[in-house]
Amino acid sequence: MGCSILFNLAARGLTNSILLERESLGSGSTGRSSGAVRMHYSNEVHARMAWQSLEIFRNFDQVVGGSVEDQAAFVETGYLIFSGDDDVDAFHANVAMHQRVGIRSSIISREDAAEIAPAFNLEDCAAIAYEPMSGHADPSGVAAAYASRARELGAQVRLQSPATTVEISSGKVTAVITAGDRIETPMAVVATGPWSRRFLLEHGIDLPLEATRHEVIHLKRPVDKLPYHPGGADIANLIYFRPEGADLTLVGNGNIEQVVDDPEIYAARPSQSFIQEVWSRLVRRIPVMEEAEFSTGYAGLYTSTPDSHPIIDRVEGIDGLYICTGFSGHGFKLSPMVGVLMAELMLDGRATTIDIFPLRMSRFREGDLNSPSYGFKVLV
Ligand SMILES: Cc1cc2nc3c(=O)[nH]c(=O)nc-3n(C[C@H](O)[C@H](O)[C@H](O)COP(=O)(O)OP(=O)(O)OC[C@H]3O[C@@H](n4cnc5c(N)ncnc54)[C@H](O)[C@@H]3O)c2cc1C
C-alpha cells in the first residue's frame, strides 16, 4: 500500500514524498501474499476496487510507465468460484452486482465448468461463477515496481528506517520522527500493515486491528494428469488455490487463523495439521491432487478488522494524518486502486473515483460495521 500510495502521489505531481520502511520492501504481509486477483466480493466497494485494480494490473507497464517492465507479471488464469449450499442466494446476488459494476463474471453450468476445469469434481457445487479475466500477480514485484517508478519521479524510499512517531502539534501533523531524523511534513500516512495497531495506539488511536497468522502451501502437481488448472475460491471447502509457476499449485485457507501479539514473532512455517487439512480439502475439489507432492509452505500475517474491510480514511481531529490499513487478507488485489484513492483523499480532500464511505474509521465507534455475507474470510 505504501509503494502504491507513493507512486500515485508522485504521478499526481507530489514528487517530494518519502516512504519509510521499517525493514525491506515486502517484508510484511505483501511478500508472503498469495497474489490472487479475483473480483468476487459481496459488497460493491471491494468489487469496484478489485475491478479497477485489475485494469491497472493488466496494463501495469503503461499505467506506471518509466523503466518498469513487467514486474507485476499478471497471469490470467481465469477464476472459478464455488458456492456452498448455504450461500447460493447471496452468491447469485453477488454476481448480479458484479455484472452491474461491469465486472466480467457469470454463473456457469457444471458442464461449462467441466470444460474449463476437466479434472475438478463438481458434484457438490450448489453454484459456480467464472471470471475469465482474473488471475494472479507478483506482490513483491508490484511493490518494487511502484517504488522504482516513484523514485524515478522524484520520491524517496528509505529502507531500514522505521518511523518511531508522527509528531503532532496543535492538532496538525508537523513531522515524522525516525531514530536518526526528524522529517518535517504536513501529511503522514500510516500504512504499517500488521504493525498498525501498536503504532496507532502509541498515538492515542485505538482501532480494532489484529495481526492474524495464515498459512499457505505449494504442492507439486502430477503434471502428466493435471498440467494446468484455473484459479479458484472454494466456499464449499473453505480453500483458495491457483497455479504457481510451471508445476505447482498454491493452496491457502484464510479462515484457519491465529492472533499474533507481536508481528515480529510468529511461526513462519506451516503446521502439519494445516498441510493435511487444506490438502484433503483440495482433493475434494481436484481428486488427482491426491497424487501431488508437498513442495513448500510458509505463513504470513493479515491485518484483520472485525468486518474484514480495510480502513482508508483521514484521522478526524488531526490535520494531515491518514490511515490505510486493515486489509484482512485480501488487500493485494486492491492495492493499485488504494494508491489512486489515497492520492485523491490527500490531494483533493476526498476520494472521488470510488465511494469509500464504508471504509471510514468511525464505523467502529458508530457500531456501523459492514456485513460480509460469507463465513469465508478472504471472500468477504
Ligand atoms: C499468507 C497471505 C496470503 C494472502 N493472499 C492474498 C491474495 O491472494 N490476494 C490478495 O489480494 N491479498 C492477499 N493477502 C493480503 C495482502 O497481502 C495484504 O492485504 C497486503 O499485502 C497488505 O499490504 P500493506 O501494505 O497494508 O501491509 P504490509 O505488506 O505488511 O506492509 C506494511 C509495511 O510497513 C512496514 N512498517 C511497519 N511498521 C513500520 C514503521 N513504524 N515504520 C516504517 N515501516 C513500517 C512493514 O515492515 C511492512 O513492510 C494475503 C496475505 C497473506 C499474509
Please give the domain boundaries of the chain with CATH numbers for all domains.
Answer: 1-380 (3.50.50.60)
> At residue 138, what are phi and psi to the nearest 5 degrees?
-95, 105
Q: How far apart are CA 202 and CA 183, in angstroms?
A: 19
Cβ atoms of residues 330 and 306 within 8 Å: no
Q: At 141, list the grid cell.
A: 514485484
Taking CA atoms only, the protein residue closest to ligand 1 atom 27 is: 193
Per-residue pLDDT of the chain (380 residues; tens, 9 = 90+): 999 999 999 999 999 999 999 999 999 999 999 999 999 999 999 999 999 999 999 999 999 988 877 777 899 999 999 998 888 999 999 999 999 999 999 999 999 999 999 999 999 889 999 999 999 999 999 999 999 999 999 999 999 999 999 999 999 999 999 999 999 999 999 999 999 999 999 999 999 999 999 999 999 999 999 999 999 999 989 999 999 999 999 999 978 889 999 999 999 999 999 999 999 999 999 999 999 999 999 999 999 999 999 999 999 999 999 999 999 999 999 999 999 999 999 999 999 999 999 999 999 999 999 987 566 666 77
- Between the CA of 241 and the centroid of ligand 1 the distance, in Å, is 19
Question: Is the shortest distance between the CB of 129 and ligand 1 below 6 Å?
Answer: no
Cite the beta strand spans of the chain per DSSP E. 18-20, 36-37, 75-76, 79-82, 106-108, 128-131, 135-136, 156-158, 163-169, 172-178, 182-184, 188-190, 210-220, 231-234, 239-244, 248-252, 258-260, 293-304, 311-314, 321-325
Cβ–ligand 1 distance for 263 under 6 Å, the answer: no
Q: What's the pLDDT score for residue 373?
A: 59
Residue given cell 476437466 in the structure block: 118
Q: For the packed helices 44-58 and 335-348, what is the interaxial angle rounded to 10 degrees?
A: 110
Ligand 1 near 323 CB (within 6 A): no
* Ligand 1 pocket, residue 120 CB under 6 Å: no
Pocket test for ligand 1, best of 30, 39, 167 (most atoms within 8 A of CB): 30
Tell me, using a 6 A CB cutoff, whether residue 53 lines ligand 1: no
- Centre of ligand 1 to C-alpha 197, Å, is 14
Dump the DSSP string for 215-242. Answer: EEEEEE--TTT-S---EEEETTTTEEEE
Question: Ligand 1 centre from 29 Cα, in Å?
Answer: 3
User: What nine digits make up the cell of 289?
Assistant: 491432487
The Cα 118–Cα 73 span in angstroms is: 26
- Residue 172, beta-bridge partner list: 169, 319
At 53 the three-state DSSP class reads: helix
The whole-number pLDDT of residue 236 equals 87
C-beta of 250 in contact with ligand 1 (< 6 A) = no
Residue nearest to atom 12 of ligand 1 (CA): 330
Helix-helix angle 2-11:139-152, to 10 degrees: 30
Q: How many CA atoms lie within 13 A of 75 on its CB side?
A: 18
Whether ligand 1 lies within 6 angstroms of the CB of 328 is answered as: no
Q: Write down the pLDDT at residue 375.
A: 61
